Amino acid sequence: MTSDIVPAIPAGTLCAAAQPSLTSRDGELLLRPWAGDDAAVLLAAYQDPAMQRWFVRRLQTHEDALMWIATWEREWQRESSAHWAIARADDGAVVGRVALRRMELLHGLAECAYWVLPHARGKGIAPRSLVTLADWAFDEAGFHRLELMHSDRNEASCRVAAKAGFAGEGIRRSALRHADGWHDMHQHARVQGDA
């Protein structure tokens, strides 16, 4: 099937190279592709009660974490999503995750996702990582619009979105089911050219 519009990001553009590592503006954080050695950190993250409150997916075993990392590698090759481990630049310790999910290259659209490990929360890691990801997505990859969505009950995630320049666009009523039932979801976005 053909399209009347030129793709914002031509198919094959991203996967033509290895997924890049990205450095935050302040040089303190390194966003890098996940590796098999990170499986234990990933598994531990999903045992955190706060994570279990906001995320519906569960990791039960080390093998599950390894399979998830392998899936993320394949998704980069398919140009359907991209996932980065957030590491401290000084010692390489993984402190979180940031991702572009549901990448739609024709329209240059993707959905952002993020989390930070409990011991690293409250230090601005999530917003700095989100800004780093957005800089790359707009300036190098060619995306036009980045969206993110979080439960209207997740005030911390709302603060992250605002600090990273993602404007609130409204509420999607009863849009996502969590373990405790249906949640309204706040919709945020940044568009190419936003300050």
> For 11-50, what is each residue's pLDDT tens digit?
999 999 999 999 999 999 999 999 999 999 999 998 988 8
Give the pLDDT confidence score for residue 57 in this predicted structure. Answer: 77
Rounded CA separation 100/113 (Å):
7
Domain count, the chain: 1
> Which residue type, as a one-letter code, is found at position 153?
R
- Is residue 13 domain-resident? no
Give the pLDDT confidence score for residue 146 in this predicted structure. Answer: 98
Rounded CA separation 88/70 (Å):
23
In this prediction, residues 57-79 reach a mean pLDDT of 94
Q: Is the dihedral of CA 60, 119, 72, 32 positive or negative?
A: negative
Residue 115 has pLDDT above 80, yes or no: yes
3-state percent breakdown (helix, strand, coil) of the chain, nearest 5: 30, 30, 35
- Is residue 150 domain-resident? yes
Q: How far is CA 21 from CA 30, 46, 133, in A?
A: 7, 23, 10
Which residues, in sequence order, are bridge partners of residue 189?
147, 167
Taking the model in full, what pTM does it have? 0.93
28-42, 44-58, 65-79, 92-106: least confidently modelled range: 44-58
- Is residue 56 domain-resident? yes
- Is residue 4 domain-resident? no
Tokens describing residue 162? 């605002």
**How does residue 171 score in pLDDT terms, banded at 50, 70 and 90?**
very high
Residue 2 has pLDDT above 80, yes or no: no
- Is residue 61 domain-resident? yes
Query: Phi and psi dihedrals of 172, rounded to 5?
Result: -95, 110
In this prediction, residues 123-135 reach a mean pLDDT of 97
Give the pLDDT confidence score for residue 112 in this predicted structure. Answer: 98
**How does residue 159 score in pLDDT terms, banded at 50, 70 and 90?**
very high
In this prediction, residues 120-125 reach a mean pLDDT of 95
- Is residue 1 domain-resident? no
- Is residue 17 domain-resident? no
Rounded CA separation 117/49 (Å):
11
CA atoms within 13 A on the CB side of 82: 26
Q: What is the CATH classification number for the domain harbouring 84?
A: 3.40.630.30
Residue 1 has pLDDT above 70, yes or no: no
Tokens describing residue 103? 């990448």
- Is residue 123 domain-resident? yes
Which domain range does residue 42 map to?
22-191
